[in-house]
Amino acid sequence: MKNPLTGIPSQSSFYKINLGENSFSYEVHSHGEKKIIFLHGWCAAKYFWTPVLEEFLDLGECITMDLLGHYPSRIASGFESFTPEDLYRIQAEGIQKIAGEEKVILIGHSTGGMFALAIHAMYPDLVEKSIAITPVIHGPVKGLLSFAKVMADLKMSFSLDLSFEILKRFPNLFHFWFEQAVYDGKGFVQREDVKEFIEAYRPHFLKLNPYTMGTYLQILNQSDLTPLLEKTKIKSLVIGGKEDKVVPVTQCHHIKEKCNYLDYKEFVHSGHIPLFEEKEECVQYMIDWILNT
């Protein structure tokens, strides 16, 4: 039986980790030999994984985890002075608390994909393998993210607060958020499964802190995974969406060219969310890769 709010199995368990001034929450949805941790993207919540999570439950212990600073996680004062490496390190400390002595498989989307690749490269004794779906590879941010950064640069406390307030007052605009991120926007948001997901997901999205989201964009803008991935070979799959308007697919092409040891798969009828847009093909490809690499 599924939880009607989140769509995830009702036996899922909620936990919290405290790391000094920082904290994380995570949910465990199944049990098994492998530990698989799912990391969502910028301006997202761990319930992002709801539409696909059930497909992975037979693989092992599936865990959805907040990115640092995303509701209800707590973040240390001075966040605005953090570097990308600070974010990776603190997130890795949280993952280590979950993992104990075991290695984990990391699956991340967008900014979560960037975290998965970086943490895998920086802490190879913690991560067995990783999957990065339409990941941010380097700044400056481009595509739709660049518009959000311009708003954040103007006055984070005003412009992003205003954007969230508009989304609260006009629920239908939240569909537009997804419509702009995918290849066939109109068709995507008309799907019954997508409508149901967006309606359940929106309350979680609206709990995010606009100031924190703006600060994340500043940090992403100065990030660059290339030097780290060039010097540290890892067992990882990068997934791109050919029509990605949020993180241009050229970022995936860039890192594949620089690090040809990475496995790469591109979905030609997808934008930023191939695991929803071409769900069956993308999810099966990921599962096969986990089982066979």
As a whole-number percent, the residues of the chain with pLDDT over 70 amount to 90
Does residue 222 carry a pLDDT above 90? no
Question: Please, are residues 181 and 275 in contact by the beta-carbon 8 Å criterion?
Answer: no
Of 112, 106, 111, 119, nearest to 139 (Cα)?
111
What is residue 173's predicted lDDT score, i.e. its pLDDT? Answer: 81
Q: pLDDT-based confidence at 159, cuts 50/70/90?
A: low
Question: Please, are residues 50 and 277 in contact by the beta-carbon 8 Å criterion?
Answer: no
- What type of residue is 176? F
What is residue 4's predicted lDDT score, i.e. its pLDDT? Answer: 37
CA distances from 208 to 24, 67, 72, 179 (A): 14, 11, 8, 20
d(CA 75, CA 157): 17
Q: Determine the straight-line distance between the first and last CA of the chain, rounded to whole angstroms.
A: 33
Report, as an integer, the average pLDDT of 99-116.
96
Q: Does an H or E element contain 117, and which?
A: helix 111-122
Q: Which of 1-5, 14-18, 47-51 has the lowest mean pLDDT?
A: 1-5
For all residues of the chain together, what is the average pLDDT? 89
Question: Please, are residues 256 and 226 in contact by the beta-carbon 8 Å criterion?
Answer: no
CA distances from 67 to 80, 168, 232, 239, 269 (A): 16, 22, 23, 20, 28
What is residue 143's predicted lDDT score, i.e. its pLDDT? Answer: 66
Identify the top-confidence range among 177-186, 204-213, 249-258: 249-258
Report, as an integer, the average pLDDT of 56-76.
95
103 burial via Cβ count (<10 Å: 0-12, 13-18, 19+):
middle
**pTM higher than 0.75:** yes
In DSSP terms, which residues pair with 109 in a beta bridge? 133
Question: Please, are residues 88 and 10 in contact by the beta-carbon 8 Å criterion?
Answer: no
The tokens describing 46, both together, are 């761990």
Residue 155 φ then ψ, to 5°: -175, 95
What is residue 213's predicted lDDT score, i.e. its pLDDT? Answer: 86
User: Domain 13-292 belongs to what topology?
Assistant: Rossmann fold (3.40.50)
What is residue 146's predicted lDDT score, i.e. its pLDDT? Answer: 55
Q: pLDDT-based confidence at 196, cuts 50/70/90?
A: very high
